[in-house]
Structure 1
Amino acid sequence: MTLERPIAPDPYELLPTVASFTLTSQDVQNGEPMDAAHAHGSTGGGNVSPQLSWSGFPAETKGFAVTCFDPDAPTGSGFWHWVLVNLPADVTELPRGVADGDLRGGFTVRNDYGEQGFGGAAPPPGDRPHRYVFAVHALDVDRLDLTPDATPAYVGFNLTFHTLARATIRPTYQIAP
């Protein structure tokens, strides 16, 4: 059963325009279906974050944040799968399956599953393909004044005021009925 509802807007089209830079991945590609390795364990997936690397960000970048958001989740507010903050400016790659202990001072806040770390894709079975917006935010500060208890929405609010540039990859995921 496909849920009949309009396609949600891309979340970054609703925010102030910022410069862009390059985000690449060995695991996910724009507009292409993700492997089940990046789906949530509740769907039989591996719940593994994809490899990401970035370049070409502004020279004045002092830190990074990485997020993954599903604007197509049938919630009225989308679904945050990953919110990683306070990465140092010299971190320009995350390996596949990165753990919080490997973030050189960075940390994740609780995702919308209520878990720390990456939470893989899990759209309703039979729903249209969902977009998963992986974004790297180049920041004008080395640290956002946040704790691991911050909500993804509060992180997003802070990112709006500190993002110099943003790079995105938008793979998809769908579960057959």
Structure 2
Amino acid sequence: MQLSSDSITNGQPIAATFAAGNAEGFAPNRNPQLAWHDVPAGTRSFALLCIDPDVPTVPETVGRQDCTVPRDQPRAHFAHWAMADIPADVRELAAGSCSDGFTVRGKTQPAGPAGSRQGLNDFTGWFAGNPDMSGQYLGYDGPYPPFNDERVHRYFFRVFALDVAQLALPDPFTAADVLRAMHGHVLAEASLHGTYTLNPVLA
């Protein structure tokens, strides 16, 4: 199976159009166009994840003018998108079809292919202690790395072909729930990644 995008060139910088944040604040936050090909026989649904593996693990260093987030600081995964039960006949998500703009407190009913389910992304936990921003962030919310991070962040879009039409998931569910539920059901996987930074020294 192959994954391609008219919006992202594999391994190259992601345009701010597809990010949640830019140097001025919130960005257009449109989901990128994605298309997958060479789907294996027996596919009954697809799952989609977008993961940033470069997120700082020391929150106190994030977003400060008086210091940077060291490049060698240990990093964690941050889910920007989790979608399950994408019907087997779907082969493409158009740019902006699932997200077009950033919604404070999160999108309550994000768009997606008929029959699909959108999970929580990790902005839910990131903003949990902020009374102005807290909420359930469902669907796609794109890159918004710290401006003081010494590391360029990578964003991996992964599509999985599954041998089940629906995954056994809680409501709401997370990317971790999808990974657990599809164990033993993956027929094929395809991925691509782009990069993004708000650090002017790295841009």
Query: TM (normalized to structure 2)?
Result: 0.73
Kindly indicate whether the alpha-carbon contact (under 8 Å) linking 1:110 and 1:148 is maintained by their aligned counterparts in 2.
no
Q: Paired residue for 1:49?
A: 31
The separation in 1 between residues aligned to 2:193 and 2:117, in whole angstroms, is 23
Gaps of 5+ in 1: 1-20
Structure with the bigger percentage of helix: 1
Q: Paired residue for 1:32?
A: 12
Are 2:134 and 1:112 aligned?
no
Give the deviation of 1:151 after TM superposition: 2.2
Secondary structure of the 1:78 match is strand
Q: Paired residue for 1:18?
A: none
- Length, aligned pairs only: 157
Q: Deviations over 1:145-173 (max 9, x none)?
A: 22441122111112233211100011110
Secondary structure of the 1:32 match is coil
CA RMSD of aligned residues (A): 1.6
Q: Paired residue for 1:84?
A: 83
Q: Paired residue for 2:172?
A: 149
Choose which of 62, 65, 84 in structure 1 pairs with 2:44: 62
Give the deviation of 1:174 after TM superposition: 0.8
User: If you compute each CA radius of gyration, which structure gives the higher value, 1 or 2?
Assistant: 2
Q: Paired residue for 2:105?
A: none
Kindly indicate whether the alpha-carbon contact (under 8 Å) linking 1:52 and 1:95 is maintained by their aligned counterparts in 2.
yes
Structure 1 stretch displaced more, 141-150 or 49-58? 141-150
Among the aligned pairs, what percent are the same residue? Answer: 41
Kindly indicate whether the alpha-carbon contact (under 8 Å) linking 2:51 and 2:157 is maintained by their aligned counterparts in 1.
yes
Kindly indicate whether the alpha-carbon contact (under 8 Å) linking 1:108 and 1:148 is maintained by their aligned counterparts in 2.
no
The separation in 2 between residues aligned to 1:160 and 1:48, in whole angstroms, is 30
Q: Deviations over 1:86-125 (max 9, x none)?
A: 0110001001112344411102111001201101101111
Structure 1 stretch displaced more, 39-48 or 113-122? 39-48
Secondary structure of the 1:72 match is strand
Please tell me the residue identity of whatever aligns with 1:105: G
The separation in 1 between residues aligned to 2:21 and 2:147, in whole angstroms, is 14
Give the deviation of 1:77 after TM superposition: 3.1
Please tell me the residue identity of whatever aligns with 2:52: D
